[in-house]
Amino acid sequence: MSAGLARAIATFCYVGLIPLAPGTFGSLAAIPVAWGLHWAIGFPGLLAATVIVFGIGYWATLVATSAGGDPDPSEIVIDEVVGQWIALMPLSWGLWQMGAAAHVFPWPGWVGGFLLFRLFDIWKPWPVSWADGLHGPLGVMLDDVLAGLMAAFVVAVAAAVAHGVLMR
């Protein structure tokens, strides 16, 4: 596979080349794709796509950083895509479990998932900071996976509180 394909993947179709806040734009670009996956094939599709994109993103990051230099260049945003999708999984799962119409877009949860993921990705509390310190393709991908898991946990708790699940 070519370096050009790896760059296109690593930058999420060149979204990462936006000069201001590429990670935020990568996360934003991930949301309509996640919603489209949920709409088309439900939670299982989003979960499968996340696992596949993690693997492809690891490869693309490996190729994109193989020349040396910065081990985590800001234009690589495929890691933000994976982390953002993880942060949105509780919402997709909940909608799928409820049998909600596929076109339903519960925007407060999706906005919250976006904001929480960006918070944990930028703040980098432990273990996100630990993974970030690994450097290399695994560190690039893993810190966003962990930030996504942290955001997903908070999203799930917030949804449970908002829908009275924890009050029963």
The DSSP string of 40-74 is HHHHHHHHHHHHHHHHHHHHHHHHHTTT-S-SS-T
CA angle (100, 102, 107) in 5-degree steps: 80
Over residues 43-47, mean pLDDT:
96
pLDDT tens by residue, 70-126: 888 999 999 999 999 999 999 999 989 888 876 676 788 899 999 999 999 999 999
User: What distance in Å separates the CA atoms of residue 28 and residue 132, rounded to the nearest whole number?
Assistant: 21
pLDDT of residue 1 exceeding 60: no
Phi/psi at 104 (5° precision):
-65, 130
Per-residue model confidence (pLDDT) at position 43: 95
Give the side-chain half-sphere CA count within 13 A for 43. Answer: 16
pLDDT of residue 54 exceeding 90: yes
Nearest 10 degrees: Cα torsion 125, 71, 135, 116: 20
pLDDT tens by residue, 2-44: 999 999 999 999 999 999 999 999 999 999 999 999 999 999 9
Query: Percentage of residues in the chain with pLDDT exceeding 90?
Result: 77
